[in-house]
Amino acid sequence: MTAQVYLNGEYLPLADAKVSVLDRGFLFGDGVYEVIPAYRGRLFRLEDHIARLNNSLNGIRLPLPHSVTDWEAIFRPLLENDIDQSVYLQITRGYAPKRDHGFPEQVVPTIFAMSSELKPFAGRTSGIKAVTLDDTRWQRCNIKAITLLGNILLRQEAIDQGGAEAILVRNGYVVEGAASNLFAVLDSELITPPKSHEILPGITRDVILELAAANNIPFREDVIALEALENASEVWVTSSIREIVPVVELDGRLIGNGKPGPIWKRMDDLLQAYKTSLT
Ligand code: PDD
């Protein structure tokens, strides 16, 4: 069957889904997005993803009236019950008759959604190499904006250096990855930077903190200095797509013994069990 996608109220084959070259998403990157896992047809933490979407939409002054139920109804035809998928949702400020930085008078948002098969990320169990880089992104990283040039260039720089993720540094503190949140284990305590305009409030991050609280794993939301990370016994990067990924080598130096650590193992088991309990 040809993959169907959703575009502005219609379901159609991917090849037939077209938007104007004057769409502000195309011309300005003027839009926001979400990536939502669906395990065996069940959307994971949909309410949380939609709450974050609404924050992003409010952040770019493009609020939409859709409820969680409305979004669920839009996604349902894109889901399959026998595989794991990720749903990509993108909303832009739509077509405008001329290219102008200021908002157009009439705004009809472009709403696009597609699903693709979600395969386990190999680095999740083996661990990955990462490199630290200066965070050259903007000041509103809590908005999940489609304008991703900063993130893309940083991720590619990490790849060019032989890593799978860039860990970003602002004013001497590590904040998050190019497409992931960051956790470190320091003196047996799990630490992640607090929510702020410097990071995307990750849904996986929230789930991990809930699981830590429910299972007596000591944790704290706190800033992490770059030097502290160098002494961490474990470092993880987390996202909906890759889940909890141990960093086993950072800037060419091994983290711990260079293998995924025991707290990662515990948390990964807890997350897998939590996912299974929902399906
Ligand atoms: N990115 N920080 C950034 C900058 C991200 O791009 C992402 C996810 C995260 C983790 O958020 P979550 O746990 O909700 O996936 C943190 C998605 C997967 C992407 O851009 O494809």
**pLDDT given for residue 126 in this prediction:** 97
For the chain, give the mean pLDDT. 97
Please check whether residue 28 is in contact with residue 21, taking contact to mean a CB–CB distance below 8 angstroms: no
Q: Is the CB of 193 under 6 A from ligand 1?
A: no
pLDDT surpasses 70 at 1: no
Strands (E), 85-213: 85-92, 110-117, 128-134, 165-170, 173-177, 181-186, 189-192
Q: Is the CB of 179 under 6 A from ligand 1?
A: yes
In the numeric block, the tokens 């896992």 are attached to: 37
pLDDT surpasses 70 at 2: no
**pLDDT given for residue 150 in this prediction:** 98
Tens-digit pLDDT profile for residues 30-62? 999 999 999 999 999 999 999 999 999 999 999
Please check whether residue 207 is in contact with residue 244, taking contact to mean a CB–CB distance below 8 angstroms: no
Nearest CA to ligand 1 atom 16: 180
Q: 202 CA distance to ligand 1 centroid (A)?
A: 6
Q: Is the CB of 200 under 6 A from ligand 1?
A: yes
Pick the closest to residue 29 from 151, 168, 147, 131 (CA basis): 147
Which residue type does 10 have?
A: E
**pLDDT given for residue 279 in this prediction:** 81
* Overall fold of domain 4-117: D-amino Acid Aminotransferase; Chain A, domain 1 (3.30.470)
* CA pseudo-torsion sign 8, 9, 13, 14: positive
Q: 21 CA distance to ligand 1 centroid (A)?
A: 27
- Segment 194-198 shows an average pLDDT of 98
Longest alpha-carbon distance in the chain: 58
Separation in Å, CA 110 to CA 27, 31, 149, 159, 243: 13, 9, 21, 32, 29
User: Could you tell me the residue ranges of all domains in the chain?
Assistant: 4-117, 128-278
pLDDT surpasses 90 at 99: yes
Of the residues 43, 239, 245, 267, which should be mutated to test ligand 1's pocket, given the most ligand atoms within 8 Å of the CB?
A: 239
Q: Which atom of ligand 1 is nearest to the CA of 241?
A: 18
| Residue 36 CB partners (closer than 8 Å, separation 6+) | 43, 44, 45, 46, 49, 75, 86, 87, 89, 240
For residue 34, the cross-strand partners are 89
d(CA 83, CA 74): 19
Q: 200 CA distance to ligand 1 centroid (A)?
A: 7
Nearest CA to ligand 1 atom 19: 179
Q: 199 CA distance to ligand 1 centroid (A)?
A: 10
Superfamily of domain 128-278: D-amino Acid Aminotransferase, subunit A, domain 2 (3.20.10.10)
Tally: H helices and E strands in the chain: 8, 16
In the numeric block, the tokens 């088991």 are attached to: 269
Of the residues 181, 199, 208, 243, which should be mutated to test ligand 1's pocket, given the most ligand atoms within 8 Å of the CB?
A: 181
Tens-digit pLDDT profile for residues 244-266? 999 999 999 999 999 999 999 99
